[in-house]
Amino acid sequence: MRKLLLDKVDVEGIKSYDVYRREGGYRSVEKALKMSPDEILEEVKTSGLRGRGGAGFPTGLKWSFLAKPEGVPRYLLCNADESEPGTFKDRYLMEKIPHLLIEGMIASSFALGANSSYIYIRGEYMFAMKIVENAIAEAYANGWLGKNIQGSGYDLDLTITCGAGAYICGEETALIESLEGNRGNPRIKPPFPAVEGLWQRPSVVNNVETIAAVVPIINDGGEEYAKIGVGRSTGTKLISASGNIVNPGVYEIDMNMTVEEFIYSDKFLGGIKNGKKLKACVPGGSSVPILPHYLVTKTAKGEDRLMSYEGLADGGFATGSMLGSGGFIVYDEDQCIVRNTYNFTRFYQHESCGQCSPCREGTGWMKKVLHNIETGKGTMDDIDLLWDIQKNIEGNTICPLGDAAAWPVAAAIRHFREEFEWHVKNPELSQTQNYGLVAEKTFEVEPA
Amino acid sequence: MSAEATKNITFPKELLDEVARLTAQYPEGKQKSALLRILHMAQAHFGWLDAPVMDYVARLLHLQPIEVYEVATFYSMYDTKKPGLVKLEVCQTGPCSIEGADKIIRYIEKKLNIKVGETTSDGIFTLKGVECLGACGYAPMLQCGHQYHEHLTEAKVDELIEQYRKNPKANYMEY
């Protein structure tokens, strides 16, 4: 497979402008500046590119919603707040090949008619911010940013700014609030950012990888881009792989690949570490439903599961999950699902901004209940209580953090209820041993 | 804090120039957008964000002090309580957890004789458990200053603690 984003990452010195340019960098800007913004929009629509931050919303459609009132500035905002547990691809891209993001920002800003654009990067990624900041300075020095870019008459200022440790700022309206110098409390939508975004002006918020993907789309054309992948999962996708695997890291894949090949091929994850067996997988970042081993590589219908938006979602939440941000976390047979669910719930409780009661209170309750079960103090009723709390969070909050907190709990109970029950029934044993792969079957013979 | 001490809270010229550069990146009247970054600068320069420091930042940006307090207390990277000179922030979320973050935390606790959230009696080290830092494939990891230390082992932790004990500001980046 031809890589579109990471094909040059191993070229020595690719972080520098000179090498990046020599390798064909900034061609998409040269091409874009000769096109009309509408022509670029059409290419992006044709490409079928979908938002790479997690939601998978078609990028061309999102761009087409941008309001363009006369005389009002509009903005392209790059979401580099990557914070979803399991996800580290944007950091990789910015550290390894920062000019690709800048090139994408220039071409995309031109298409949207933005003359000021901002990259919002999470505060902990200070090292990556420095790299991108240097690359921005090089781009200014070489006439790709600033006034009259390459003699085209188009002006663009690009600024990088940072957060300070708040997962919620990856939500687009919270990101805008934070960019305005406020607490990262998500806004009620509508109005959508496309109409009232940064400083109440029309804004588009796109993920780092999404913006980088605009470069090959302009270079090769949307139609070529759409030939890669499968169905509505066009192009390539960056996957951050972590957990109990032989080769963790960032991979650029064709979404037409099977999960089986991705996990077990030596070219990718290389299988489960230390010869252990696969127990479960969270395929798209901590918020997506966890899949038990028998639903990871096969769908409920017994077909090979694909690493695509549709493939990972096959079966809905009953037997599927989501591609999400591409944070692919693999669990071996020694891992405890209750402990992992507690861990994720603690994360969401910590990151809840506190605006909406179901999320603020619910995440805390779930954390306490899960902690009880994990430490051998839980009851059978607690499992039903957990189910009830997550149900009452989902869909009842301003932003999707509530859903993100509810889904992992729901999926863990849906697929691993026996393991929760085992913890309740074996309060002492569960403190020294994990349930492992004991599996659902043993429970048929368990006395009532 | 005494009036005398408050008077000494001021950025040196190069940082004031940086404040001017950062605020100029935003349209007229939208200078509050630079607040988060300037708070990072203030924390790096003054050690932590106590009220006089936040008041100083408020004056720099022509904001009400409360506008700075509410931001400083929202984001987890800002210290509104005095930490040790060196903050060891161990990621404890999901992938780091299954790759042994808890063992690393217990090891540091034992080694420094403090619990998570505490500071050593000599005021050098503060140990914190933090949420996902985006290094899941390189777990377990900790952040110190602006540096990520990945693929941690007990031996690597020993080395780091030695290094930071000698030079608490090792690996700090300029804003």
Q: Which residue of B has its CA nearest to A175?
A: B33
Same domain, B93 and B124: yes
pLDDT the model gives residue A448: 35
- Tabulate helix, strand, coil % of chain B (nearest 5): 45, 10, 40
Among the partner-chain residues A87, A165, A286, the one whose CB lies closest to the CB of B75 is A165
Least confident range of A215-229, A425-439, B137-151: A425-439
The CATH number of residue B23's host domain is: 1.10.10.1590
Question: Rounded CA gap, A431 and A428, in Å?
Answer: 5
Q: Are residues B48 and B90 in the same domain?
A: no
Q: Kindly determine whether residue A244 and residue B173, on different chains, have CB atoms separated by under 8 Å.
A: no
pLDDT tens-digit readout, B103-116: 999 999 999 999 99
Which pLDDT does position A444 carry in this prediction? 37
CB contact under 8 A, A183 and B70: yes
3-state secondary structure of A206: strand
B12 in contact with A, Cβ within 8 Å:
no
Same domain, B94 and B68: no
Report the C-alpha gap between B35 and A296 in whole angstroms: 45
Q: Are residues B90 and B64 in the same domain?
A: no
B146 close contact with A: CB closer than 8 A: yes
Q: What is the pLDDT of residues A246-284, one digit of tens each?
A: 999 999 999 999 999 999 999 999 999 999 999 999 999
- In chain B, the residue whose alpha carbon lies closest to the alpha carbon of A128 is B146
Q: From the CA of A373, how many Å to the nearest CA of chain B?
A: 18
Q: Are residues B99 and B53 in the same domain?
A: no
pLDDT digits (tens, 9 = 90+) for A41-55: 999 999 999 999 999
Last-in-domain residue among B72, B104, B127: B72
- The predicted-structure confidence for A150-206, as pLDDT tens digits, reads as follows 999 999 999 999 999 999 999 999 999 999 999 999 999 999 999 999 999 999 999
Of A159, A179, A343, the CB nearest to B93: A343
Same domain, B63 and B114: no
> Are residues B67 and B94 part of one domain?
no
Domains of chain A: 17-227 (3.40.50.11540), 249-332 (3.10.20.600), 337-437 (1.20.1440.230)
Residue A370 has pLDDT above 50, yes or no: yes
Q: Could you report the predicted ipTM of this complex, rounded to two decimals?
A: 0.95
Q: Using CB atoms, which residue from B25, B95, B148 is nearest to A243?
A: B95
Give domain status of residue B175, yes or no: no
Facing B173 at nearest CB: one of A126, A181, A343:
A126
B98 with B160, same domain: the answer is yes
For residue B76, the SS3 value is coil
Hey, what are B129's tokens? 């458990």
> How many angstroms away from the CA of B94 is the closest CA of chain A?
6
B131 and A124 within 8 Å at the Cβ level: the answer is no
Judged by CB atoms within 8 Å, which residues 100-129 of B form the interface with A?
Answer: none
Specify if B149 maps to a domain: yes
Q: Calculate ∠ Cα A311-A415-A375, nearest 5°.
A: 135
A to B CB pairs, distance under 8 Å: 141
Please give the residue range of the domain that contains residue B134.
86-166
Q: How far is A50 from chain B (nearest CA, A)?
A: 22
Name the DSSP class of A247.
S
Single residue among B17, B44, B72 that ends a domain in this structure: B72
- Contact between chains at B77 and A91 (C-beta distance less than 8 A): no
Question: With 60 as the cut, is the pLDDT of residue A69 above it?
Answer: yes
- Residues of A in Cβ contact (< 8 Å) with B93: 85, 286, 343-344, 347
Q: Which chain B residues are Cβ-neighbours of A90 within 8 angstroms? A: 134
Tell me, yes or no, whether B62 and B90 share the same domain: no
Last residue of a domain, one of B39, B72, B105: B72
Q: Does a structural domain hold residue B79?
A: no
Q: Is residue B36 within 8 angstroms of chain A, CB to CB?
A: yes
CATH code: domain of residue B117: 3.40.30.10
Residue B169 confidence class, pLDDT cut points 50, 70, 90: confident
d(C-alpha A217, C-alpha A395), whole Å = 35
The answer, for B99 touching chain A at a CB cutoff of 8 Å, is yes
User: Do B138 and A91 make contact, defined as CB atoms within 8 angstroms?
Assistant: no
Lowest mean pLDDT among A365-369, A406-410, B6-10: B6-10
Please count the structural domains in chain B.
2
- Among the partner-chain residues A85, A159, A182, the one whose CB lies closest to the CB of B71 is A182
pLDDT beyond 50 at A13: yes
